[in-house]
Every structure is written in C-alpha cells, then in structure tokens.
Structure 1
Amino acid sequence: MINAQWKLVDEVRSTIKKSRTVPSGFFISLTRRLEQVLSNPSAEQLGQLRDGLHGVLNDAVAMAPPPVVQAVGESTLDDPIAASYILGQLSFAHQLVHSIREKASSKVLHELINNAKFKPYILALTTGNLSGKDLADLCGRAPETVSRNLAELREHGITDFRREGTSLVNFLTPVGRILSECLPKEPKIKVGANLSEAKEKIKMKTANEFIGMPMLSKKA
C-alpha cells in the first residue's frame, strides 16, 4: 500500500484483478500525478511510485496473452502487437509533456513570473537550488517576505522545496523551468558568487520590463 496520493495505483490493481480491465481515464489521472511527483522528486515518493507501478505491470503481464507479453519491448512497427505497445508508450509520454506545457502556457503564470515581486526568485533559482536564506540574501528581502512569496509560487506550481540534510532547498518545478525560459538570460548569476554583486545583477534584470513576451507555443 502506498500513500494517499498514489491510492489511484492501488485501486487500478484491484480493478485489473477483478475485471481484467484498466479503468477509463487512468492514464490521464496518472499523468497528473506524475507531474506532481516530478515537481518534488523525493526518494520516498519515487520509490512508492516505482513499487506501485511495478505491481500494476506485473498484474497486467500475468493476465495478458503470451504473444502480447513477448511483444513488449520490441522495436518493430511491423508487428501489430508490438506497434500497439510502442504507440501506447509514445502516447503516454506525449500526454505527460502536454500536461506540463499546457500549465506553463497559462496567462496567469506568465503574468506572475513577470511580477516584480516574484521575478527575482525565478531568476535566482535558474542558477540552481537555493535555501530561503540564500534567496533572501540574493534578492535583498527579509526572510519572512521570501517565505510568503515562495508559498505563493508553490501554490501556482512554479517552485517547490525539499529537505537536504538539515536544510530546506527551493527549486523550480518543470513548469517553472519552462516559464523561466521566457526571462532574459544575461547577465548570468552564479551560485556562490559574491552576494552583493549577485543581488545587483538581479536588480538589473528585474528593472527591465518585458513588452510583448513571446508565447511558449512560438518557441516550440
């Protein structure tokens, strides 16, 4: 049994055993949960996901006809069964990427990352994972302000955090990384650089307002 977030996987295993079918909408729901776990890739969550999906796969393999099992992993599109497997893999990968990209195309999120209140955090986190203290130093803001602002960014799925030893480090989610591509890349800020110098560079960047920011679809 895995945690509540992945209860879906347990329910699917039960359905497969009872009716030998995969519930309608399962892969769309799985895509959304994968997006969540990829935004915060803790070893515990990834382990739970691996074990849960491994169980679903084993159950399905045990019930599938032998020719189908033999076709899994084949690379030819000439065989109808192998072709169905390959197309299924490609379709799921496309659904996952589409889900992340669709969220990143949100007008609200574009406006958010260009807001002077949030832009310095996005720019700083493009250099790597940073603690709240690092962000406070780099952006010239009080730790309490940084904490509130990061909470808003997490609510929109742009940043997240995880524990590394005794510290909490912040990072851009897949959606946040896509959105950050719309921000200017120069001058670059190096993690570990003189904080006062880095802070001035961030201020220089955020002082330049964007006009007519290109839509992500035009970059594809």
Structure 2
Amino acid sequence: MSDWTLMKQLPKAFEAASQLPPGVFSAIATRIEDAIADGSREHLIEMQDQLSGLLKLYASRSGDEVIGALQGSASPDSAAATAYALGQINFAQLLTAQAGTRRVEAAFAMLVEDHGDIVRMLLSRNMTGLELAEATGFRPETVSRKLKVMREAGISDYYREGTSLYNFLTPAAKALAPDLQSADEPRHGGVAVRRAIVSRQSSLQLHMRHALTFAPNPPSETASARVGL
C-alpha cells in the first residue's frame, strides 16, 4: 500500500487540482474500496496520510478563496464553497456507485459458478431443457428451476425453434465460463461428483474397481460351526 505511485505522479503531471482528469478520482475510489475490504487499519491510515498530503499540496497551489472553502471559513454562497460541497457529494456518489457495481459483478460471477454444470454444457452448444437434464444428470424439473434462476440473473436466455426451447448463454456469462473448472475436476458434491467418479471408475482395470481391504474375510458358517462358534 505504501507504494502508491499515483500519488507521486499527479503533482508532477498536473499543476492544479482542476486539471486532474475524471479517471483519477475513479482510481482513487477503487483504491479506497480495496483498502476498506482489506480490513487493515494500518493501510487505511497510510492512505489517509497520502491523500492528506496530496490535498495540502494542491491547496498550496490554490488561491485564498479555495483554501477558505477547504477550511470551512468561506462564505456559503461563494462559488468556491459551492464547488467544494458538490465535489464532496460527487466523490461519495462515485465511490458508492463503483462499490455497488463491483458487488453486482461478484454476485453474478458466483451465480455462474454455482450453475457451472449447466453453464459448461451451454458453452459447447445451445441445448433444450431435456438435453441439459440428460447431459448433467439432473432431473428435468431441477434443470427447469435452475434455468429460471439463470435467466433472471442474466446468465442465460432461450429461443423457440418449432416446439422446442433452446437455451443459450449471454455474452457476460460466456466471458466467465472458461474460468470454471472442467467437468472432470468437480469441486461441489452431488450428481456431478458421482458422474465423475463412475466415469473414472469404469476406466480402471477390473481388480481396481472395488475398494481394497486388508481385513480378513469373515469365517464361513460351516467353519464357525467346526470350531464351536
């Protein structure tokens, strides 16, 4: 966090605060959000010091009216005081908007991952609900419920061809789909895991398809009778 190059470059690249491009404030808002999410008090204090230094530097390059607005001593009706207040509101709105957008993106990615079995199938080709049920091992009604959630989240949609409804991934979901684990390396339990286990098991040699044990076989009924058990 200490090596915040942006804080060092700004005073050299822009003489006055009014020359700073909008992208600078967006970058600062992102950095603040990351620091808050990190949960480190030390990082937040360090960032506060760096921003305070930048503010003082640009304030020293400004006129008395601007400094008065920063200190709260300027007339509330002055242009500088109005601009300062609007700037604070605008930055708060920017920080909130960026944080909200990133939360939505994270939630969307999580939904794509949660429906990974179906997403992987649709990544290869458009499929009907019955085709998806056969390919994933889910019951048709389960697939139908999952598809409803996916459509509402913007992960998939469908089109009609004759009497069949074909499901397909939206561009946003397609962009995330390649990051999902392959079907041969399932991470969650359920049908996908059982299907992968059966597939792997069927490829083994016959003597390896059952669990090995070193426990002795239980004595037969006749053997037990012979020794009086």
Structure 2 length-normalised TM: 0.44
Question: For the pair shown, which has the larger CA radius of gyration, 1 or 2?
Answer: 2
Structure 1 length-normalised TM: 0.46
Task: Identify the structure with bigger relative contact order (alpha carbons < 8 Å, sequence gap 6+).
Answer: 1
